[in-house]
Chains A and B, each alone.
Chain A
Amino acid sequence: MEHILSNELGRLIVGLIVVLIFSQLNALFLVWLERKVAGHIQLRIGPKEVGPYGLLQTIVDGLKLVGKELITPKRADRILFIIAPVLVFVPVLVPFIVLPFSKSLPLNDMNVGLLVIFSFSTINVLAILIGGWGSNNKYALLGAIRSVAQNIAYEIPLLLSVLSVVLMTKTLQMSKIVQAQGSYWFFLIQPIAALTYFICATAETNRAPFDIPEAESELVAGFHTEFSGMRFGLFFLAEYTNVFVVCAVATTLFLGGWQGPFGFSLGIPGIIWFLAKTYLLVFVIMWFRWTFPRLRFDQLISFSWKVLIPLALANLIITAGVIKLI
């Protein structure tokens, strides 16, 4: 065992298996959490029948989805239709390789870690476009088009806000960014960047109030209208994994990663700190969803161009200036 772990390749293989298991369980847990949060916000209970506190409910739901027939619409583009769910799910697993769960736990602490995350998360849009186009359904197509427009508008402020952190730390390596926050967390000195990042992350993952591509009161289910069974399940799992990833990145960039506040770890292991902060952010995103009405598509884009991008840009310039002066 020791031997395998010390080997770089062995470490990667074991890690990948752990990542696969963790990402699945995490997504299932998040679905459960979402239903519980929604339930209690709405004065209901949420799932409670299967397992303690209904914890096994999502597993049962997953099994049901696996057992369902995979329907491919007659007029759909068969290849794209089949590729889309796979394409949407695979890229969201990649960021797990570089996420610094604790000091020793990033599977592979690449020096371009941040870049890897953002480049792979962009593939998501492509997958949605393929899925929406391939299903040959007007609702799906509208959803796909909206999704592309939305993501183009939100990638920019997202990256701008991340860039101000990168300017401060002068590195793209996740662990070094965390270590740079030893004494204070970055959201204290970069509040605007943190807020911009968080808003953009919500939009990036198509969560309410930015759930325009799948707005079910308008587009039925948006880009995944035609997907059934586990194909739909993959879209679903990818969405929740994505939420986890953006929150984990937010934790890394702005909330000090595996470290406790102001350098005090309080005897709690790093991984617990990391997960606690991430899940707190996930909770906030869910809280958003069950509070706000949905924006309209043009309002969303004008919000991005008129508010977020100028703010992020100004923040970046000020950061650069301050760093130069110091």
Chain B
Amino acid sequence: MGVERSMPLDLLSKTIENKVPEAKINETDHSKTGCFLEVVVPVAKITDTAEAMYDELYYLEAITGLDFTDGFQVLYHFNKFETRDRVVVRLMVGKGEKVPTISCIYSAALWHEREVHDFFGIEFEGSPDMRPLLMPEDVDFHPLLKDFGKVNAYHRMDEIYGDDK
């Protein structure tokens, strides 16, 4: 599917670079991954990145957690209403590391973060509300962790993402 990106690439990249100089910005093939841009930022800088995204009128599609043997990944998918322009912001989160919340910028993030917390036990720092969302109130396990229940595979990050970079 030859979907063209309808926004000039560098506009967003520049805004992000201004705010978060450490960000690694890669172009990705939309026809393969569904995203145009991949932004890898350090965990502490996610709030700034989210601010940059909000300034550019992106909305938050989803926050996804991924569990690997050597840490978590937290993926923020952003998109724009008027133009097709999906961006994925990738965080490499160590086990036990806390992620700053972005619910102060995107209200939508609150529930998504609660969900990620439910499923992976990743703590979001500064979040006003960390009650379990989908799980019952009294659960003490995180079902989507790869060491919970029946598991088919538990990989390191580079086993999946290593080859194509």
Indicate yes or no for A touching B, C-beta below 8 A: no
Residues of B within 8 A of A (CB): none
